[in-house]
Amino acid sequence: MASTSQRTSINPFATNTSDIPDQRKSQTAAAPRKEIWSSLLKSVSTGKRMPEKQLLLLGGTPETQREFLESLSTETPRTRRPQSRKAPIANQYALGYTYQDVLDADHEDVLARLSVYTVADPSLAFSSLLKPLLTPKTLPNTLIVILLDWGQPWNWIRHLRDWIRLLRTIMISLDDESKDIMEETIVEWRDRKRNSATEGSTSNDEPTLPLGPGEWDEPLGVPLCVVCQNADKMQQLETERSWKDEQFDFVGQYIRTILLKHGASLIYTMPSAPGSLQALIHSSLGIQSTLQKKELKHEVSNRDKTLVPPNWDSWGKIRLMADNFDVEAISKIWSLEIQLSEAQATAGADKEEVQFSSTPKPEPNGIDLYERRIRDPKKDALMPGLVRKPENGIETESREVQSFLAEQAEILENLRKEDEKEKLVKDAKKTPASYLSSTDDRRDVEEHIGPVQFNMGGIQVDADDMLKRLKDREATRTTDSEPKTPTGGAKVDQEAENKRLKDFFANLAKKPSSATNSPRRGGTDT
């Protein structure tokens, strides 16, 4: 039987202390144990950690925001995972949140987790909700997207001003560490990524190109992208609002001049054809597929598919659209338009009661200059005197509602007075009833009740026809008897004829009563 001292432990990491000297035993017992598994698992989890990106979606409605997210999604109905679901857009009253997993070209690997925060109203009260999202950790991986709608292009500049004022208020209130991170982010976008956006450049080590006039004058500290949705409504503006190329070029030049100052990108989209929206957003966030690299190319020749990548535009390219556009003046006006009030600059986003106060602006300011050319039809309806008459005659000028109703009421009153006068004239022309002849009365009654008929002995007799015949016969007899003196024989014959007629009508009147007592036809007397 083997002794217990010869047994070996089954634990490969156990140490047989029977052969170790006492001094070494004490050192081994005092030394801390090294946990190699936890360090290995931590390194593996760090290597497999999913990159996290952040998207602040500003403006629009829950419907247009959902359309944007559907156009941005890399999943298709065929490749959509069973556990994936369409997250609701809950931003009607406050800050909404959803997320997307950006898949690779083969829809197998997840490239990044995209967290999307949505806000629909540029109210300063939401600044306290957006401020915690901008931290030194999230700022390098954040992109701000502002949604505009081609259904209301007359509100674009006003919306952009309100959103940029809100963002500037939040940026001022951040701590020093966050401001340093924002400065580094801007330098990266303005210099290193500027060369990568230039045509024909393949390396970031090339010399940095100098900035042109009006470029990066008002950086926000975070990359910005403006998405103009529903570009298919541009055709509706042509047909219903009589827009021409001058209006579309003015809108494009104005917004491109503004975005050039912030180093922002611009894209027109429509629900049926999102175009390069996905490639633009992913490249702005630094998300690149390992299997398929998508090149981001500019597009300014096709009006409804406009795409202006970041760091591509310039004043010279903007002037190519139209010669009569003053790029320099618009750029200077916009710098004054987005300035914060003194209360906003000092309080930042900590005081929600601070509102956008009216600061001194040059006349005309940027909003008036834009809305003077791109007019809101609702405001024109309220002020009909300011509406210009269309030159092509397609549109008709509508009148103010109260003045139209007042005119119609006057017309109805005149018609009522005319009816009363006509009724009085008719009543005056009528003869009193006491002077009406019996013939006229009978004629009115006959016209009202129609012909009078009665049954005499089974024969339907028309009384009017009978009276007419009697009168005609009497008139004929009188006419025949006037020129000639009737002889005795003729007089006797006339009297006999009258007697026969009298007896005839008498027999007809008595026939129904006598017919009941008469013997049946064909019978014999008994």
Q: What is the DSSP string of 36-83?
A: HHHHHHHHHHHHTPPPEEEEEEESS-HHHHHHHHHHH----TTT--TT
Distance CA 382, CA 399 (A): 10
> Is the confidence at residue 202, as pLDDT, over 80?
no
Global pTM exceeds 0.85: no
Per-residue pLDDT of 175-187, as tens digits, reads 999 999 999 998 8
pLDDT of residue 117: 94
Distance CA 498, CA 504 (A): 10
Q: Which residues contact 321 (CB under 8 A, 6 or more apart)?
A: 249, 252, 253, 300
Residues in the chain: 526
Q: How would residue 11 be classed by pLDDT, with cut points 50, 70 and 90?
A: very low
Better pLDDT: 238 or 80 = 238
Tracing tokens 């900590």 back to the chain, one arrives at 350
Q: What is the DSSP string of 252-305?
A: HHHHHHHHHHHT-EEEE-BTTB-TTHHHHHHHHHT---SS-PPP---B-SSGGG
- The conformation of residue 101, written as its DSSP 8-state character, comes to E
Distance CA 96, CA 252 (A): 30
Q: How would residue 470 be classed by pLDDT, with cut points 50, 70 and 90?
A: confident
Stretch 224-250: mean pLDDT, rounded? 92
Stretch 156-178: mean pLDDT, rounded? 94
Residue 242, Ramachandran bin (φ over 0: left; ψ between -120 and 50: alpha; else beta): left
Q: How would residue 271 be classed by pLDDT, with cut points 50, 70 and 90?
A: confident
What residue type is assigned to position 205 of the chain? D
318: helix, coil or strand?
A: helix
Contact between residue 373 and residue 364 where contact means Cβ atoms under 8 Å apart: no
pLDDT of residue 199: 45
pLDDT of residue 446: 58
Of the candidate ranges 346-355, 389-398, 469-478, 489-498, the one whose mean pLDDT is the lowest? 346-355
Per-residue pLDDT of 273-326, as tens digits, reads 888 899 999 999 988 877 777 778 899 988 889 999 998 999 999 999 988 899
Of the candidate ranges 73-77, 210-214, 439-443, 521-525, the one whose mean pLDDT is the lowest? 521-525
Among 115, 120, 110, 111, CA closest to 98: 115
Contact between residue 128 and residue 352 where contact means Cβ atoms under 8 Å apart: yes
Of the candidate ranges 139-153, 360-374, 381-395, the one whose mean pLDDT is the lowest? 381-395
> Is the confidence at residue 191, as pLDDT, over 90?
no
Per-residue pLDDT of 480-526, as tens digits, reads 665 555 555 555 677 787 888 778 777 776 655 544 444 444 444 43
* CA within 13 Å, CB half, 403: 5
pLDDT of residue 56: 95
Stretch 135-144: mean pLDDT, rounded? 94
Tracing tokens 């956006």 back to the chain, one arrives at 197
Distance CA 39, CA 55 (A): 33
Stretch 180-200: mean pLDDT, rounded? 73
In Å, how far are 201, 401, 423, 525 from 415, measured between CA atoms? 81, 21, 12, 83
Per-residue pLDDT of 23-37, as tens digits, reads 544 554 555 566 677
516: helix, coil or strand?
A: coil
